[in-house]
């Protein structure tokens, strides 16, 4: 069965012009290959600047990869604007992080939700109102809300409107770019559970992007960890959480705050800051901050590729050895 | 445009003390200009042509000018002309400015660079100078041409303003959302960007209103704008020159009308601008 | 003597149209002892940020501190201070760190300049001495010598926050107020900064008031936790006890809504409804419209502050009766 979404060796570079015309190259995404099936959630985790938001935009076709291809149901998008692509484009939708910026402040939310239906002429004019009411109902809002404006709603409600808007065109794949990061804890649970329900009902495939591992673990069957535009580890969620093979993954998980200190990995403190995406080192991107006991010159010179290690894929030369710092562990 | 945001803008202007005054003034002038004429003495058919300039009295609240024409009715008729000119000219400027600004801001790249260099070049020439150059083409400029010329010289600043707003909004999540839903660039501009730059546009429009009225009055005063016998405030002041001292009311009232309208436009514009600023809203 | 002692703090704002006031902070009582970290946890609309601002009398106008409030720092009455006294307090005995380091640092001044400015506001120092001390402070917070003359845009989020902390330390504070200092930062940087705060606390014996919306974040760092909801404190107590057995239904609901890596299979539960509008607090217990355990008195009478032993308190009818008995 063809994957709903497949990224093959995708690269994305930007060339922002500096003040004096010097142009730098920002390598935001470096050779990412992923695939996603229906009714599956792939979590994408990483810290700011790692390229996950860029990848989300590539995945839904908002931007074109510099190299590599993104396939939707086996077909690649051709040049933007081609009308035969419209059908393909609407199969992938995106939900944004910022509940305040993701809705046009001058449009009623009914119009916002209906926009996809109007653009693709999926529903005759007469039927729009009912369809919008149905969509709003699915996300837990009232039909009467359709005539109100975004500023009249809370952050959580706006996020739900954004989800309704994405659902309107009946996508097969939804990229959720940090959909709950800007929301309160109690509201996060509402949105996460809503997404879960919609997935079960409609067989949606999600690319769930977040910097919070705990939230991702709620929905994702598999998790990919991104660092400086590279996927450094990819595997089933339980395995990854219990026994991460890449040093960065382990450090990341150990830094996630948990209420119960007894049952978690020992804290690994990463020193320094990540290198800049304009100056990628030739070898492993993580080498300067790596604490793996086997780290050596090979890591500096040779860039590791994603390869099977246990139940997951990890991009580390020494992934077979558990990445534990040389100092002794607490029992 | 939706009633909601526009209504909110108007309400905001109403709430501000200056804004309310301005709105009332503008509405007052507009009402007078549209409704009053049938009730006024037709200035062209004054019976006693020899009476000359008469001071304000019950029969003529604003007095009469040196041709025995009732100043009040001339001021009101002049209001019609001046307001129509101002509104249409500002509308022309808005359309041009918004159009160029949106295209430049959204498309970017070479198109943006070329358009903006042209705009900057044109802005280097003072507006009055441009106007004079263009108007001298005609001996007696027809009204339509005057309006168009005023409109064509007033959109430059607006285009920069709109371009700035578009640049700011271009990467906003809701624009990305529209694109991901498959909206064409035309749709994005029309449905999403235009309503969101409407705020600054309206402010520019109300402030521009005063500017155009002043320009038109100035041109008319110089004899280059509205041509007699069509009444206009500037023209009235021009014709009042011989009796400036002896019959001050002939120039005072049209002058006051100009000042009030310009002030009203500025008050409303300032109030709207303050209400759009998120900190003071 | 407590480093900070707040009693019945109420903050009020005038209503936009119509008369009267509303109170987004409505009777907050808390205290922080020297060397202790108190976490104040709450969601948006709980009033926690306004509380922080009120402590240093930095409320945005037209907000004001309502009568009946008491704030004491090291025993001194903050509300009675004159302008000069207030200036010395701010950045002096009490240091404050805000949420967004990018907005809190002036982009035209270097890291060192920020710290020097703070130093010279509270100590008489020559330029050379101030610079030397600034370098020392920055080193203490983990900003290296090579970053001392860097501008904010050249620093990472974590580094900027460290600069803020160094500036806050310039006046040798006995109390540091941190209002969501890590919310805008990545989780690894967050952990580093919290480690830093812990070190500073231990080394300087400083009290820390740490405000956050993230319960899990403070779980292993704070000595005591105060939970706020709708302008009031609903529960307070030692961290481990509070987490092990939350007394207030809101605390319990917050924990149930917080995902945890330890239990990835536990489905997080949302709290039904939404936070109330400060202009229209619900009658009785403010949480009652969303509370699963509500019963007879909850919707009419505000619960009292019931002690639960071992420095624990909860404002909930489940833990007491009208006589004030637990």
> Are chains B and A in touch, 3+ Cβ pairs below 8 Å?
yes
Pick the residue from chain C with its C-alpha nearest to A251: C188
Per-residue model confidence as pLDDT tens digits over A283-314? 888 888 888 888 888 888 888 888 998 889 99
Which residues of chain B have a pLDDT value below 70? 1-6, 8, 36-52, 277-281
In this predicted model, what pLDDT tens digit does every residue of C160-202 receive, in sequence order?
999 999 999 998 999 999 998 888 788 888 888 899 999 999 9
List, as ranges, residues 38-67 from A with C-beta within 8 Å of C.
47-48
CB-count exposure of residue B53 (10 Å: 0-12, 13-18, 19+): buried
Overall average pLDDT of the C278-283 stretch: 88
SS3 C14: strand
Record: contact B174-A104, CB cut-off 8 A: yes
Least CB–CB distance from B173: residue in A61, A93, A102: A102
pLDDT at B78: 85
Ramachandran angles phi, psi of A118, nearest 5°: -70, -45
B4 contacts on A by Cβ (under 8 Å): 106, 108, 149
Of C189, C218, C257, the CB nearest to A188: C257
pLDDT tier at A331 (50, 70, 90 boundaries)?
A: very low
What percentage of residues in chain C have a pLDDT greater than 70?
98
Q: Could you say which DSSP state residue A234 is in?
A: E
Question: Residue A93: phi, psi to the nearest 5?
Answer: -125, 170
Cα A264 to Cα A250: distance, rounded to the nearest angstrom: 11
Q: Which residue has the higher pLDDT, B175 or A74?
A: B175
- Radius of gyration for the alpha carbons in chain A, expressed in angstroms and rounded: 21
Describe the strand order of the beta sheet including A173-177 as a list of residue ranges: A92-95, A173-177, A205-210, A41-45, A222-227, A230-236, A312-314, A307-309
Question: Residue A180 and residue B278: Cα distance in Å, rounded?
Answer: 25
CATH code of the domain made up of B18-33+71-276:
1.10.3720.10
pLDDT above 80 (res A18): no
For residue A318 the two structure tokens come to 């020494």
Q: Residue A133 pLDDT > 60, yes or no?
A: yes
pLDDT of B281 reads: 38
CB spacing of B174 vs A108 below 8 angstroms: no
8-state DSSP, A1 = -
Mean pLDDT of C251-271: 86
Distance between CA B152 and CA C178 in Å, rounded? Answer: 56
pLDDT digits (tens, 9 = 90+) for B165-224: 999 888 888 998 888 888 888 888 888 888 888 878 888 888 888 889 899 888 888 888
Min distance C82 CA to chain A CA atoms (Å): 38
In angstroms, the CA B149 to CA B127 distance is 11
For residue C3, give the DSSP letter. S
Checking if the pLDDT of C234 tops 90, the result is yes
Average pLDDT of A161-188? 91
What number of C-beta contacts closer than 8 Å exist between A and B? Answer: 73
The pTM score is 0.82
Parallel, antiparallel or unpaired: strands C70-73 and C76-77: antiparallel
Residue B46 has what pLDDT?
54
Q: What is the pLDDT of residues A75-108, one digit of tens each?
A: 887 555 555 677 777 889 999 988 888 999 888 9
pLDDT at residue B274, rounded to an integer: 76
pLDDT at B1: 37
Instruction: Tell me the pLDDT of chain C averaged across its residues.
Output: 88
Chain B CB contacts of A163 under 8 Å are: none
* A180/chain B closest Cα distance in angstroms: 15
Task: Output the DSSP codes for C144-177.
Answer: -GGGTT--GGGS-HHHHHHHHHHHHHTT--SEEE
Give the per-residue pLDDT at A21. 61
Residues A257, C214: C-beta atoms closer than 8 Å: yes
| Shortest Cα distance, chain A CAs vs residue B176, angstroms | 8
Which of A115, A121, A135, A173 should one mutate to test binding to chain B, selecting the residue with the greatest count of B CBs within 10 A?
A115
Segment among A36-50, A171-185, B28-42, B60-74 with least mean pLDDT? B28-42
Q: Which two tokens stand for residue C226?
A: 């105060």
Neighbours of B123 (CB within 10 A): 14
Q: Which residue has the tokens 């010179």?
A: A301
Q: Does residue A42 carry a pLDDT above 60?
A: yes
Asked if the Cβ–Cβ distance from A189 to C188 is below 8 Å, we say no
Is C269 within 8 Å of A189 when comparing Cβ atoms? yes
Among A100-114, C126-140, C295-309, whose mean pLDDT is lowest? C295-309
Task: Please check whether residue A212 touches C, CB under 8 A.
Answer: yes
pLDDT in tens, C53-81: 999 999 988 889 998 899 999 888 999 99
The secondary structure of A114-138 as a DSSP string is: HHHHHHTT-S-HHHHHHHHHHHHHH
Q: Are A95 and A159 spatial neighbours (Cβ–Cβ below 8 Å)?
A: yes
pLDDT recorded at residue A1: 66
* Helix pair A109-119, A155-168: axis angle to 10 deg: 20
- Measured between alpha carbons, how far is C326 from C308 in angstroms, rounded to an integer? 7
**Which band of pLDDT confidence, cut at 50, 70 and 90, is reported for residue A330?**
very low
> Are the beta carbons of A107 and B2 separated by less than 8 Å?
yes
Across the range C98-119, mean pLDDT stands at 88
Considering only CB atoms, A185 lies closest to which of C192, C213, C267, namely C213
CB pair distance less than 8 Å for A261 and C220: yes
Cα distance between residue C73 and residue C94, in whole Å: 8
Q: How confident is the model at residue A37 (pLDDT cuts 50, 70, 90)?
A: very high
Closest to B187 in 3D by CA, of A111, C145, A57: A111
List, for residues A215-260, the tens digit of each pLDDT value. Answer: 899 999 999 999 999 999 999 998 888 888 899 998 888 888 877 6
Per DSSP, helices labelled H in B226-248 are 233-239
Residue C101 is predicted with a pLDDT of 80
The answer to whether the beta carbons of residues A191 and A154 sit under 8 Å apart is no
Cβ-nearest to A89 among B176, B182, B198: B182
Cβ-contact B247, B240 below 8 angstroms? yes
Work out the number of other CB atoms within 10 angstroms of the CB of residue B183: 20
Percentage above 90 pLDDT, chain A? 39
Measure the N-to-C terminal CA separation of chain A; round to a whole number of Å. Answer: 46
Q: How far is A265 from chain C (nearest CA, A)?
A: 10
- CA C7, distance to chain mean position in Å, is 15
Taking contacts as CB-CB distances below 8 angstroms, the residues of chain C near A251 are 188
User: Which three-class secondary structure state does DSSP give residue C35?
Assistant: coil
The residue of A99, A106, A107, A108 whose CB has the most chain B CBs within 10 angstroms, and thus the best one to mutate to test that interface, is: A106
Residue of C nearest to A213 (CA): C261
């Amino acid at each position: 069965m063809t994957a709903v979404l497949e990224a093959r060796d995708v690269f994305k570079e930007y060339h922002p012009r500096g003040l004096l015309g010097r142009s730098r190259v920002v390598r935001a995404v470096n050779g990412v290959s992923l695939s996603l099936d229906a009714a599956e959630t792939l979590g994408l985790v990483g810290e700011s600047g790692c390229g996950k938001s860029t990848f989300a935009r590539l995945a839904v076709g908002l931007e074109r990869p510099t190299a590599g291809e993104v396939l939707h149901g086996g077909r690649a998008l051709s040049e933007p604007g081609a009308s035969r692509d419209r059908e393909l484009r609407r199969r992938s939708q995106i939900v944004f992080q910022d509940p305040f910026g993701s809705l046009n402040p001058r449009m009623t939310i009914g119009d916002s939700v209906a926009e996809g239906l109007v653009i693709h002429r999926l529903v005759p004019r007469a039927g729009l109102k009912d369809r919008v009411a149905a969509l709003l109902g699915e996300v837990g809002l009232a039909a009467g809300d359709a005539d109100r404006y975004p500023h009249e709603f809370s952050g959580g409600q706006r996020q739900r409107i954004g989800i309704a808007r994405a659902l309107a065109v009946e996508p097969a794949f939804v990229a959720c770019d940090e959909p709950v990061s800007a929301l309160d804890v109690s509201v996060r649970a509402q949105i996460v559970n809503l997404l879960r329900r919609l997935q079960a009902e409609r067989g949606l495939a999600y690319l769930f992007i977040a910097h919070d591992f705990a939230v991702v673990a709620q929905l994702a069957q598999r998790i990919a960890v991104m660092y400086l535009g590279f996927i450094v580890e990819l595997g089933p969620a339980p395995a990854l959480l219990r026994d991460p093979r890449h040093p960065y993954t382990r450090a990341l998980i150990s830094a996630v705050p948990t209420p119960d200190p007894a049952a978690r990995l020992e804290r690994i403190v990463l020193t320094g800051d990540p290198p800049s995406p304009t100056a990628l080192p030739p070898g492993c991107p993580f080498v300067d901050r790596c604490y793996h006991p086997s780290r050596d010159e090979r890591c500096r010179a040779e860039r590791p590729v994603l390869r099977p290690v246990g139940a997951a894929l990890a991009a580390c030369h020494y992934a077979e050895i558990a990445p534990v710092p040389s100092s002794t562990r607490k029992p | 445009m939706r009633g909601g945001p526009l209504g909110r803008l108007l309400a905001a202007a109403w709430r501000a003390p200056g804004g309310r005054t301005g709105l009332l003034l503008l509405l007052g002038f507009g009402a007078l200009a549209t409704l009053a004429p049938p009730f006024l003495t037709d200035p062209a058919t004054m019976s006693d042509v020899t009476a000359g300039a008469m001071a304000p009295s019950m029969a003529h609240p604003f007095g009469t000018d040196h041709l025995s024409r009732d100043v009040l009715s001339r001021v009101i008729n002049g209001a019609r002309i001046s307001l129509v000119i101002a509104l249409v000219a500002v509308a022309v400027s808005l359309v041009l400015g918004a159009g160029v600004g949106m295209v430049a801001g959204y498309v970017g790249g070479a198109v943006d660079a070329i358009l903006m260099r042209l705009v900057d070049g044109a802005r280097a020439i003072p507006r009055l100078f441009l106007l004079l150059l263009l108007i001298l083409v005609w001996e007696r400029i027809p009204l339509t041409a005057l309006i168009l010329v005023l409109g064509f010289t007033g959109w430059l600043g607006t285009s920069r303003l709109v371009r700035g707003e578009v640049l700011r909004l271009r990467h906003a999540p809701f624009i990305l959302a529209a694109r991901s839903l498959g909206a064409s660039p035309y749709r994005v501009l029309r449905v999403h960007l235009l309503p969101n730059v409407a705020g600054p546009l309206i402010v520019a429009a109300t402030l521009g209103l005063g500017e155009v009225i002043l320009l038109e009055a100035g041109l008319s005063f110089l004899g280059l704008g509205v041509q007699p016998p069509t009444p206009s405030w500037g023209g009235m002041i021009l014709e009042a020159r011989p009796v400036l001292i002896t019959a001050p009311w002939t120039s005072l009232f049209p002058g006051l009308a100009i000042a009030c309208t310009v002030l009203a436009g500025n008050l409303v514009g300032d109030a709207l601008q303050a209400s759009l600023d998120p900190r003071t809203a | 003597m407590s480093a900070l002692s707040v009693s019945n703090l109420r903050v009020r704002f005038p209503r936009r149209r119509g008369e009267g006031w509303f109170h987004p902070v409505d009777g907050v009582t808390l205290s922080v002892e020297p060397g202790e970290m108190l976490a104040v946890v709450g969601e948006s609309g709980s009033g926690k940020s306004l509380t922080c601002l009120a402590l240093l009398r930095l409320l945005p106008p037209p907000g004001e501190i309502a009568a009946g409030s008491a704030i004491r720092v090291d025993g001194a009455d903050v509300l009675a201070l004159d302008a000069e006294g207030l200036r010395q307090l701010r950045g002096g005995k009490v240091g404050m760190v805000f949420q967004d380091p990018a907005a809190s640092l002036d982009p035209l001044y270097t890291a060192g300049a920020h710290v020097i400015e703070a130093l010279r506001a509270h100590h008489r120092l020559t330029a050379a001495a101030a610079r030397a001390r600034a370098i020392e402070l920055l080193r203490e917070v983990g900003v290296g010598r090579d970053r001392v003359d860097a501008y904010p845009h050249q620093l990472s989020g974590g580094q900027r926050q460290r600069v803020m902390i160094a500036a806050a330390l310039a006046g040798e504070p006995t109390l540091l107020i941190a209002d969501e200092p890590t919310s805008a930062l990545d989780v690894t940087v967050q952990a580093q900064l919290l480690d830093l705060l812990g070190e500073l606390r231990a080394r300087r014996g400083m009290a820390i008031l740490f405000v956050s919306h993230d319960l899990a974040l403070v779980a292993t760092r704070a000595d005591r936790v105060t939970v706020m909801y709708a302008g009031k404190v609903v529960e307070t107590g030692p961290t481990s006890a509070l987490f092990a057995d939350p007394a207030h239904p809101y605390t319990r609901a917050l924990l149930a809504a917080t995902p945890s890596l330890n239990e990835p299979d536990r489905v997080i539960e949302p709290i039904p409804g939404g936070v109330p509008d400060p202009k229209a607090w619900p009658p009785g217990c403010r949480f009652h419209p969303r509370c699963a355990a509500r019963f007879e008195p909850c919707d009419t009478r505000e619960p009292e502050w019931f002690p639960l032993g071992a420095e624990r308190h909860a404002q909930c009818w489940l833990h007491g009766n009208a006589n004030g008995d637990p």
